[in-house]
Amino acid sequence: MLVVGVGKATRLLRFLLEGAKEYRVEAVLGARTATGDSCSPEEARGDASFLSQVRVEQAVASLTGALEQVAPMTSALKFGGQPLYLLARRGRQVPRPTRRVTVFSARVVEF
């Protein structure tokens, strides 16, 4: 389900940010892009052949619990009234506060 706010209802979306969410991630180990996601071309690729499924599962499992998280410059969060992704497209980096998040579970579905 994708929730979309229209008009004045947009300001109510902030209350949804506090609820529990579920994410599914697909990653290419060793790949690097300018934006940190698959929306921009790959800039470099390192050798990730030393990573076994067991090592990746252990690393993913270690990402649970209370964590401090910094929003990427490609997010829609605002700085000075401007979305971070617009600033990033202009080549600007701005300080972003950390946010405390809780990851209840993380697992590798396919390797």
pLDDT in tens, 43-69: 999 999 999 999 999 999 999 999 999
Q: What is the pLDDT of residues 88-100, one digit of tens each?
A: 888 899 999 898 9
The band of 1, judged by pLDDT with boundaries at 50, 70 and 90, is low
Please answer whether residues 95 and 80 qualify as being in contact, where contact means their C-beta atoms are separated by less than 8 angstroms: no
CA distance 91 to 74: 11
- For the beta carbon of residue 44, count every other beta carbon within 10 angstroms: 8
CA distance 54 to 84: 36
C-alpha torsion sign, points 48, 53, 58, 61: positive
Rounded to two decimals, the pTM is 0.63
Query: Given this model, what pLDDT does residue 75 score?
Result: 85
Query: Given this model, what pLDDT does residue 106 score?
Result: 93
More confident residue, 106 or 5: 106
Q: What percent of the chain has pLDDT over 70?
A: 97
CA distance 24 to 108: 10
